[in-house]
Amino acid sequence: MFSKILIANRGEIACRVIKTARRMGIKTVAVYSDADRDALHVEMADEAVHIGPAAAAESYLIPEKIIAACKETGAEAVHPGYGFLSERASFPEMLAREGIVFIGPNPRAITAMGDKIESKKFANEAKVSTVPGYLGVIESPDQAVEIAEDIGYPVMIKASAGGGGKGMRIAWNAEEARDGYTRSKSEAASSFGDDRVFIEKFIENPRHIEIQVLGDKHGNAIYLGERECSIQRRNQKVIEEAPSPLLDEATRAKMGEQAVALAKAVDYDSAGTVEFVAGQDKSFYFLEMNTRLQVEHPVTELITGIDLVEQMIRVAAGEKLEIEQKDVKLNGWAVESRIYAEDPYRNFLPSIGRLVRYAPPEESTSDGVTVRNDTGVVEGSEISMFYDPMIAKLITHAPTRDEVIDAMSEALDAFYVDGIQHNVPFLTALMNHPRWRSGQLATGFIAEEYPDGFFPSHPDEAATGVLAAVALSMGALNRERLDHLPGRLRPHSGAIRENWVVKVDKTYVPVRLAAGYPGTPVEIDVAIGDGPVTTVESDWAPGQALWNGSVGGRPVVVQVRPVLGGYRLDWQGFSVIAKVMTPRMAELDALMPEKLPPDTSKMLLCPMPGLVVSIAVEEGQEVKAGEQLAIVEAMKMENVLRAERDCTVSAIKAKAGDSLAVDAVIMEFS
């Protein structure tokens, strides 16, 4: 077994590998760029080596710098994590020449399976069912259109060396095929250093199901069940679960055996994933093989009890698999939610900045429910524009699918992040979506259920009542404490007011304090409107970020942020402003005029912090609705900004190469 390994990666996956290595008694070496000098993985590792500037192309993507770090520290092996150099066949070859072990598959397997074009050719030769497509190198947009029309729309244009949803576009017509080819090629070059793309038929209403395989250097290979990864946005996975609610035992075995046959054909000797596109009728086609550890591997670990990182390390050290296929048992259900630095209310555009508050739910195992948080940040960490926007992966495990979804919903309610925008509200709303809970999934789920994007939804009457009760418990406690502060002119000495009004956004909710005295811990009886008396209990104290308690016996965790005159409450995907008032104050408040936001309809604003790649128009130019105005790049993704209506460009305020803040004016219209 190795005594020291180097992790050629950053963020949560580097931290994840360090945890297992530490448990195995193996020392670790981290590498870091200028942007990651104070990162968590650097702090966790036994040693750390600086490898260059912030841009990945000048640091994490340079094999020579990784090898030099190994020599400097005496690391015997390298774990690549995922992304970066993990699927570049030349990397393990370079390591081997230096006598350093690659903790991953052999280069031949990476070449055969890691490249999306070559893997499809190999799968065809191995008689594995594949999606119809063109596997050759495409030289021009016109050729892309010709191929797409020959296959038949819709088609998927994909980067050959791609991953993480980058370099992927769906085209429904010739114009989209031409534009998708150009964008995919550009994103592929900037993200992977390889601009090759291919085209395949896009299966409508499909599901994305993948099989986890594990092989060793002695010819053994097994599969560890499947993962359902159909909840995607822009081809990037958002929520994963294991097992899949679609598969039965027979289909699972069929997919697993096919995945193992493919792995054995290339002498696969590590953890890897065979991905399939599946129809709602349980038909399936080979999509690609990822010759690395997957982002979503924790859900497989929780339902099988197998540490995949440990198995990768043991296999790389030459050990035989101690697990046989008959030993693999799937226990319970697991769900993973990816916490991203992106604004769900601005079409999920990237958000960068410092984590002013970062308080994830505590990792625990209790009453058959496990909560796990794989992260690479701490409070005070900075989310940089140079890398993937993932903050953390929140994973829950429970005996049944309903129970694990409930556990995830509660854990997301308790995931407190401030300083940047993030997708926790969206994930929480998804957990309570009827279609998700029913298991009727498809890769188009988010586009179908949120066709106009995700917007804050107003809570229904029941949820409004819960939030009003929570707000009253806090507001009454705050008032009681303020009334008795030393030096107050007239501290009250009478009974607590019985009748209150809680303004939840624009709804005025009458609330009666029926019994109890606001204090810590809180235990009061309230009546919402004309409803029955409900008991509210909590140990919340002023200043705490989470209100953790129960309303009418229902467990409730609400995120609390103070605002002028009240609180912002986040719960179950709802975000409301709640203000506790006397009835007379509520009457007067209802008469207050509403302040409207400024009119920005004649401006193109930068939707997120990013780099202006190009400006497609000139001052004085007339543009039609849908025409391209500019391209802004953020976190390796190019975002095309288009005209929302016919107009004339009156002024251009930015140029290619400018770094813009969110809401910076790019151009004005008349």
- Cβ–Cβ < 8 Å for 541, 520: yes
Q: CB-based contacts of 21: which residues, under 8 Å, 6+ apart?
A: 5, 27, 28, 79, 309, 313
Q: Which amino acid is at 517?
A: Y
- 594 tagged catalytic: no
Give one DSSP letter per residue of 399-428, joined into a string: SSHHHHHHHHHHHHHT-EEESS--SHHHHH
88-110 per-residue burial string, b: 16 or more CB within 10 A, e: under 16: bbebbebbeeeebbbbbbbbebb
Which residues on adjacent β-strands are paired with residue 374? 393
**Annotated catalytic residue, options 176, 288, 410, 638:** 288
Angle at which helix 141-151 crosses helix 174-192, to 10 degrees, equals: 120
Instruction: Give the long-range contacts of residues 526-535, CB within 8 A, separation 24 or more.
Output: 526/469, 526/472, 526/473, 528/465, 528/468, 528/469, 529/465, 531/465, 534/469
Q: CB-based contacts of 458: which residues, under 8 Å, 6+ apart?
A: 464, 505, 507, 574, 576
Q: In angstroms, how far is CA 668 from the centroid of its own chain?
A: 34
Q: At 431, list the tokens.
A: 């957990």
The Cα diameter of the chain in Å comes to: 87
Cα separation, 631 vs 618, whole angstroms: 14
Say what the alpha-carbon torsion angle 41, 42, 45, 47 is, to the nearest 10 degrees.
160
Q: At 522, list the tokens.
A: 């809180």
Closest CA to 193 of 56, 391, 380, 302: 56
Cα separation, 576 vs 23, whole angstroms: 44
Element spanning 182, H or E: helix 174-192
Instruction: Give the long-range contacts of residues 359-367, CB within 8 A, separation 24 or more.
Output: 359/415, 359/416, 359/417, 359/545, 359/546, 360/392, 360/394, 360/414, 360/415, 360/416, 361/394, 361/411, 361/414, 361/415
- Cβ–Cβ < 8 Å for 106, 91: no
Report the SS3 class of residue 436. Answer: helix
Cα separation, 502 vs 509, whole angstroms: 5
Closest CA to 634 of 349, 233, 343: 349
> For residue 569, which phi and psi values (nearest 5 degrees)?
-115, 130
Which residues on adjacent β-strands are paired with residue 650? none
Distances (CA, A) of 4 to 24, 39, 46: 11, 20, 9
Q: In angstroms, how far is CA 172 from the centroid of its own chain?
A: 27
Report the SS3 class of residue 81. Answer: coil
The single-letter DSSP state of residue 380 is: T
Question: Degrees (nearest 5) of the Cα angle 189, 192, 196?
Answer: 55
For the chain, the straight-line distance linking the first and the last C-alpha, in angstroms and rounded, comes to 69
Cα separation, 473 vs 500, whole angstroms: 11
| Number of other residues whose CB lies within 10 A of the CB of residue 602 | 11
Residues identified as active-site: 288
